[in-house]
Amino acid sequence: MPEPTFSERVYATVRRIPYGRVVTYGGIAALLGTPRAARGVGSALAALPEGNDVPWWRVVNGRGEISLPHYPGRLQRMLLEQEGVPFRRSGTIDLRRFGWRTQFWEEDRSDVGGRRPAREGGETNR
DNA sequence: CAGCTGACTCCTG
DNA sequence: TCAGGAGCCAGCT
């Protein structure tokens, strides 16, 4: 296992999320060093097999809500509430209180979400 | 190797 | 607060 795939690294990171905490897709991507790969994180989790040891339910979107519109039984919400993570009436989670390492990327999100860091000089680095 | 798709995120009106 | 549009990534066809 010389070069773990992106998905492998995603799973490894998700396994480190503490019980009762949640992380956003973009947050996982940022921890992996690729803050713009939030979509890739979603794809990786979507490919998870049934019997896995990855707490995928602790991953939510940037607005603190479940990103599984077509998943039956509200399973993710049930599991989170079971861990003590409360949902507001609007169906969102307070990431400021339950987000793991949330304040870390609150300091600088200029790289998150498909947006590139400004680079006004217009200078071609080479 | 080109083209699509999607458990994403951000900006603007 | 909500809808529309655009950008970025990994995995599949």
What is the per-residue pLDDT across A22-66, written as a single tens digit (0 to 9) for each?
A: 999 999 999 999 999 999 999 999 999 888 999 999 999 999 999
pLDDT of residue A120: 46
pTM of the model: 0.88
Quick one: average pLDDT of A73-90?
Answer: 94
CA A109 to chain CA mean position, Å: 14
Nearest residue to B6 via alpha carbon and C1': A43
> Which residues, at least 6 apart from A82, have a Cβ–Cβ distance to it below 8 Å?
none
Residue type, A121: G
Cβ of residue A92 near strand C, that is under 7 Å?
no
Higher pLDDT, A73 or A36: A36
Quick one: average pLDDT of A75-101?
Answer: 94
Strand B bases, protein C-beta under 7 A: 5-11
> Which residues, at least 6 apart from A70, have a Cβ–Cβ distance to it below 8 Å?
none
